[in-house]
Amino acid sequence: MNEISKRVMLVAGESSGDHHAANLFLELKKRDPKVQGIGMGGKKMAQAGIEIHYDSSNIGVIGVVEVIKRYGEIKHALNEMKQLLLDQRPDLLICVDYKEFNFKLAGFAKKNGIKVLFYVSPQIWAWRPGRVVKYGKVIDMMAVIFPFEVPFYEKENVPVRYVGHPSVDKVRAQRSVAEDLALYDLQADAPIIGILPGSRTDEINRMLPIMLKAAEVIQQAKPNVQFVLPQADSVSDELLQNSFQHSNIKVQAINNQFYDVVQCCDAVMTVSGTATLEIALLEVPMLVAYKLSFITYLLARVLVDVEFIGLPNIIAGKSVVQEFIQKEASAHNLANEILHILDDEAYAGSLKEGLQLVKEKIGKGGGSENMAELALEMLA
């Protein structure tokens, strides 16, 4: 049996967290090949060599109603992770995003004398800023990925480190646009529109039908238009087919090649989330659309104090790309915005300038490497 230097437990509940945790662990292994990784996550973490004790692909939900629907499964996963903490006694617990779940797990770990590093701060600047103090009680260190998050924690004397956004380094296409167009059999002289309905089952079921209806409107205006959908690992073919079968639009779903697919696009329809930032880093014009269940939306209106939902707009501190939320997220509005981008060269250019500003503001890269160094510090 191989000798183990340190045991690290990593817990992620969503597709973006799965990627971040996997990249962090790969960097950690470079520095300490004998480190062992265990925890909860998805395919990327497993591929990175982390021993997955609970597959999180079915519990990545957003919204109060959606969480209630999956409450039994989420609670079961939390209990499994608590038991794993007690059985394995890791030298460090790294909680990656998935805020409510990981907040509870961090508190349990702290009570049991296990060090906690929280990676990717919950968006406390939008959602209950008073929670900073509560997080301070259950963690040993908060690693933030945006420079503007640091003062929130420093103000309350919570240990914090700005590590840089992991997407800055990883958003790189593998091939040239010309090579990708040939590979995907796409025509360079016809518009290419990206459809990004998210990675969670609930948001795909809610947003993909709207985006496909928008695609029908776009196709009526531009019959030669081409539609592509970069398919995440966590999204099954069956889930997409549920919506595709009710539409006469031809969409080419391309698995696990997000950056190469997006760089081919003239414009993108996307839900809010990390994807908006990655599209911004590729400087591709986009719109951001989102619908929550009615109850979740009403609660969000009361609890969330933020002007924008799209990360490019939040980072820029102004409206860089158009956002369509709830009833505004209609097929008609989405189609009109995409057609505006395609038909108005000056408008598309202004969007790209705004996205360049976002790239400047997001700051340094090296997120995964800086996180690995921070983890090693804490392990020492």
> Do 181 and 298 sit in the same domain of this protein?
yes
Q: Is the pLDDT of residue 130 over 80?
A: no
Which pLDDT score, from 0 to 100, does residue 1 have?
45
The rounded Cα 109 to chain-centroid distance in angstroms is 25
> Do 209 and 244 sit in the same domain of this protein?
yes
pLDDT tens, position by position, 30-52: 999 999 999 999 999 999 999 99
> Do 272 and 350 sit in the same domain of this protein?
yes
Asked if residue 62 is part of any domain, the answer here is yes
> Do 146 and 159 sit in the same domain of this protein?
yes
Asked if residue 76 is part of any domain, the answer here is yes
Q: Is the pLDDT of residue 2 over 70?
A: no
Asked if residue 98 is part of any domain, the answer here is yes
Asked if residue 225 is part of any domain, the answer here is yes
> Do 211 and 358 sit in the same domain of this protein?
yes
How many CB atoms lie under 10 A from the CB of residue 127?
14
> Do 185 and 209 sit in the same domain of this protein?
yes
Print the domain residue range for 322: 177-362
pLDDT tens, position by position, 162-175: 999 888 888 999 99
Find out whether 176 and 296 touch, Cβ atoms under 8 Å.
Answer: no
> Do 215 and 248 sit in the same domain of this protein?
yes
- Number of independent structural domains in the chain: 2
The rounded Cα 171 to chain-centroid distance in angstroms is 13
> Do 242 and 372 sit in the same domain of this protein?
no
More confident residue, 127 or 19: 19
Asked if residue 134 is part of any domain, the answer here is yes
Mean pLDDT, rounded, for 65-72: 74
Asked if residue 325 is part of any domain, the answer here is yes
Asked if residue 24 is part of any domain, the answer here is yes
> Do 144 and 229 sit in the same domain of this protein?
no
Mean pLDDT, rounded, for 170-195: 96
Which pLDDT score, from 0 to 100, does residue 62 have?
60
Find out whether 193 and 266 touch, Cβ atoms under 8 Å.
Answer: yes
> Do 223 and 74 sit in the same domain of this protein?
no
- Tokens matching residue 210: 């709207």
Q: Is 290 helix (H, G, I), strand (E, B) or coil?
A: strand
Find out whether 349 and 112 touch, Cβ atoms under 8 Å.
Answer: no
CATH of the domain at 343: 3.40.50.2000
> Do 130 and 229 sit in the same domain of this protein?
no
Mean pLDDT, rounded, for 26-30: 97
Q: What percent of the chain has pLDDT over 70?
A: 92
- Buried b / exposed e across 165-195, counting CB within 10 Å, b at 16+? bbbbbbbebeeeeeebbeebebeeeebbbbb
Specify the pairing of strand 92-96 against strand 116-119. parallel
Q: Is residue 253 very low, low, confident or very high in pLDDT (cuts 50, 70, 90)? A: very high
What is the overall mean pLDDT for the chain?
90
Asked if residue 1 is part of any domain, the answer here is no
> Do 298 and 369 sit in the same domain of this protein?
no
Mean pLDDT, rounded, for 64-77: 79
Which pLDDT score, from 0 to 100, does residue 170 have?
83
